[in-house]
Amino acid sequence: MKNFKAIYLICCSLIFSSSALAIEICGNLAQGELIQAKAENSEHVFFNDKELSVLPDGSFLFALGRDAEPLQILQISTAEELHNYPLEIKTTDWDVQKINGVEPRKVTPTDLDNRKIDKEREDLARALSYHTKTPYWQNGFIMPVNKGRTSGNFGGQRIINGKKKSPHQGMDLAAPEGSPVFASADGTVTLSGGEYFYIGNVVVIDHGQNLSTIYAHLKSSTVKKGDKVKKGDIIGHIGKTGRATGPHLHWGASINGVRFHPLSLLKIGDKNFCSNL
């Protein structure tokens, strides 16, 4: 794949070097980051061969996964031609998160637990696949917890009770049990409740253009599937349901199935993070 991309880069920079199209890129081109971009007159946009949803003004979003390769290809077609942009992605030094004292069954699930885990993954994947056209995300994001202490960052390699597990797919915000959890932006609830094995009680909100946020380990949720929420609305309360050693919110973010650091949502709309390609 890397060789293919290297050849593609050389080939396309030769063929398309004269076909400049003004593109604004907002965000940090680094692993685990959300990127907001705008290309006027764009008809179709592809990122790594996947077509993205593009608004009438040419705005679109994509994320660079935790392990995104150092060279990624952005393709933009206008009525006249196809433009190819190789993007150089900075690597990120992910930390190692050692967590001890987790209930052994939550580290080595039984067969019955594994069937529940399959259902959890299906429900979550379905909730993350909703795709409202309204770009609620354009109104910006806030932190979902007041005075939450970061107790686990996105991307960390997790060692739970001494066993190497999957990297952390969100960020953890520790706060007293029962503290309110807020919708970080406007949107539509696509999953609520669950008592799932890992994520416990959860709320998922769709913010449009396949961008969703996840709020896990809740003591309770106060919204239901289909509800429209506004940024700052209370959607539930801090708890420790699922796999958790203490009360905290696991805040996750996903676009087009790619998980990214939710803190990068806070940069949306901030021109300080924008530059032209």
- Residue closer to Zn ion, measured from CB, 243 or 267: 243
User: Residue 207 Cβ, how far from Zn ion at the closest point, in Å?
Assistant: 20
User: Residue 64 Cβ, how far from Zn ion at the closest point, in Å?
Assistant: 20
- Residue closer to Zn ion, measured from CB, 45 or 99: 99
User: Residue 149 Cβ, how far from Zn ion at the closest point, in Å?
Assistant: 13
> What is the distance, to the nearest Å, from the Cα of residue 162 to the centroid of all Cα atoms in its chain?
27
Q: Rounded distance, CA 30 to CA 50, Å?
A: 19
User: Residue 116 Cβ, how far from Zn ion at the closest point, in Å?
Assistant: 19
- Residue closer to Zn ion, measured from CB, 237 or 250: 250
User: Residue 273 Cβ, how far from Zn ion at the closest point, in Å?
Assistant: 25
**By Cβ distance, which residue is nearest to Zn ion?**
250
User: Residue 249 Cβ, how far from Zn ion at the closest point, in Å?
Assistant: 8
Q: Rounded distance, CA 231 to CA 183, Å?
A: 5
- Residue closer to Zn ion, measured from CB, 60 or 197: 197
User: DSSP string covering the chain, please?
Assistant: -HHHHHHHHHHHHHHHTT----EEEES--BTT-EEEEEETT-SEEEETTEEEP--TTSEEEEE--TT--SEEEEEEE-SS-EEEEEEE-B-----EEEE----GGGTS--HHHHHHHHHHHHHHHHHHT---SS-GGGG----SSTT-EEEE-TTPEEEETTEE-PPP-EEEEE--TT-EEE-SSSEEEEEEEEEETTTEEEEEEE-STTEEEEEEEESEE---TT-EE-TT-EEEE-B--SS-SSSEEEEEEEETTEEE-GGGGGGTT-GGGEEE-
Q: Which residues of this chain interact with Zn ion, rule CB under 5 A?
A: 172, 250
Rg of the chain over all Cα atoms, to the nearest angstrom: 20
- Residue closer to Zn ion, measured from CB, 135 or 170: 170
- Residue closer to Zn ion, measured from CB, 123 or 172: 172
Q: Rounded distance, CA 187 to CA 138, Å?
A: 11
- Residue closer to Zn ion, measured from CB, 66 or 250: 250
User: Residue 158 Cβ, how far from Zn ion at the closest point, in Å?
Assistant: 9
